[in-house]
Amino acid sequence: MHLLSALVALATDKLWDTILPDMARLLPPQEKERFFLCAGLLLLGLITLSATLTQRWVDRDGLGVALAKGLAMGILAGLPYSFGSTALGLIFIGWSGINELQKFEQ
């Protein structure tokens, strides 16, 4: 996992902590569900595309591998809770950091 892919997903994931709940407070209850569903799907698509392109062109992964990594990051960013402050978020940052360090050694 490239560090840029992980950082983009984690930065976008912070939307679930602060901005999106504040925006949804003003909406009626029926509209909140639609708002969170649309926001989640939009984040899923954007982060999947961003991480896939980063993995493909910056990290030089194959198309299938890049798409799998991008989809995993997109799913995590599209879920309606913040994973960046959990152990799973730290695992992704650690994984990408270790990969970057291994590249420097080569």
Q: Residues of the chain whose pLDDT is less than 70?
A: 84-87, 89, 92, 100, 103, 105-106
| CA pair distance 102, 19, nearest whole angstrom | 36
pLDDT of residue 42: 95
Question: Do residues 77 and 45 make contact, with C-beta atoms less than 8 angstroms apart?
Answer: no
Specify the number of domains making up the chain.
1
For the chain, what's the residue count? 106
Domain containing 43 equals 3-105
Closest among 76, 51, 75 to 1, alpha carbons compared:
51
DSSP state of 53: H
pLDDT of residue 37: 94
pTM, 2 dp: 0.81
pLDDT of residue 68: 93
